[in-house]
Amino acid sequence: MAEPLLLAPPLALLIEALVGYPAALHSAVPHPVTWIGKAIEAMERRWNLPETSEVRRKELGVVTVAILILSAVLIGGFVESIFDSGLLATLLVALIATLGLAQRSLHQHVMAVLDPLEAGDLPAARVAVGRIVGRDIEDLDLHGVTAAALESLAESFNDGVVAPASWLTLFGLPGLFAYKAVNTADSQIGHMEPRWRAFGWAAAKTDDVMNWVPARLAGLLICLGAGWKGWDVMRRDARKHASPNAGWPEAAMAGALGVRLGGPARYDGETTDRPSFGDGRAPDLTDLRRGLRIYRRACALLWLLAALACLGGWRLVQ
């Protein structure tokens, strides 16, 4: 791998934060993640049949994940082989890599919740937060809306920013594409409902493995972005989450803001008991503003870390 391409990850982070995936481009060309989603849907329709035994469906789920990872690695490697040297190649690889990052879109989605709250329009804020969380939103009050937005901001900081940036930094486009394929599969089929439990098992477990280190790094960056606040809460509460990874950035955000996140929530009309993170009060509008500031600082720290890693030649596969 030519030296200039090592600078692609920090450059991709910077470009994506400034530009994102422009709406005009999105209207003309669907985001590549939708292509991955369609491939997963096709394999699920073909292989996840009710009449097939659970053991067989689990095996076919493993095959599905293997196909996704192999395809992603081959495509990523092929793209890098085309752009193999020079500053122009670095820029082109960085531009392609922005497709796997979500700093700007995550910030915009949370701002879409904050703006109506600042205008006193709670119904509009509920609609906005409903676009980034899966829980029922009809009865959420101000505290419920801000808590949901902060939880999504913290968890998605890992899934949409830190984890893809980490895989990009260490393994280049093949690593980034493989992570996005697995993470998309987990979001689509990695569920515990009877339909998905066997077929989606491999996607869920692989996603857990690929996020294990990045989730802890995301929590650390949130604490650093808050001036080293939240570390004690993160260490104490992160393992309460049913996921081995999601609790780390969420507990870090709760501790950094001195608020309480998590707790019971309603999904499809049913109340689900969830663990709480932090000991403070319920979050409010001010905390959502503060959370976004912490998020921006954490992203800046990630840029610095990616730059140091690339300049130090930390890429594992050349």
Residue 270 bridge partners (DSSP): 267
3-state DSSP helix/strand/coil percent for the chain, to nearest 5? 70, 5, 25
Confidence of residue 215 (pLDDT cuts 50, 70, 90): very high
pLDDT greater than 90 at residue 214: yes
Token pair in block for residue 42: 């096709």
* pLDDT value at residue 318: 61
Instruction: List C-alpha distances in Å: 273 to 125, 242, 265, 298.
Output: 24, 11, 7, 30
pLDDT greater than 90 at residue 106: yes
pLDDT greater than 60 at residue 4: no
What would the pLDDT profile of 228-284 be if each residue is shown by its tens digit? 999 999 999 999 999 999 999 999 999 999 999 999 989 888 888 999 999 999 999
Confidence of residue 24 (pLDDT cuts 50, 70, 90): low
How far apart (Å, rounded) are the C-alpha atoms in residues 307 and 169? 9
How far apart (Å, rounded) are the C-alpha atoms in residues 253 and 53? 42
Region of residue 258 (phi > 0: left; psi between -120 and 50: alpha; otherwise: beta): left
How far apart (Å, rounded) are the C-alpha atoms in residues 145 and 223? 23
| Burial group, residue 128, by CB count within 10 angstroms (0-12, 13-18, 19+) | buried
pLDDT greater than 70 at residue 29: no
Half-sphere exposure of 123 (CA within 13 A, CB side): 0
SS3 string of 216-254?
A: HHHHHHHHHHCCCCCHHHHHHHHHHCCCCCCHHHHHHHH
Neighbour tally for 30: CB within 10 Å: 12
How far apart (Å, rounded) are the C-alpha atoms in residues 189 and 199? 7
Please give the model's pTM, rounded to 2 decimal places. Answer: 0.93
Tallying the residues shown for the chain, one arrives at 318
How far apart (Å, rounded) are the C-alpha atoms in residues 234 and 237? 5
Instruction: List C-alpha distances in Å: 295 to 33, 219, 307.
Output: 24, 11, 18
User: In sequence order, what are the residues at sequence separation of 6 or more whose Cβ sits closer than 8 angstroms to the Cβ of residue 47?
Assistant: 57, 60, 61, 63, 64, 199
Instruction: List C-alpha distances in Å: 39 to 64, 68, 71.
Output: 10, 9, 11
What would the pLDDT profile of 178-197 be if each residue is shown by its tens digit? 999 999 999 999 988 889 99
* pLDDT value at residue 26: 60
Region 123-144 average pLDDT? 93
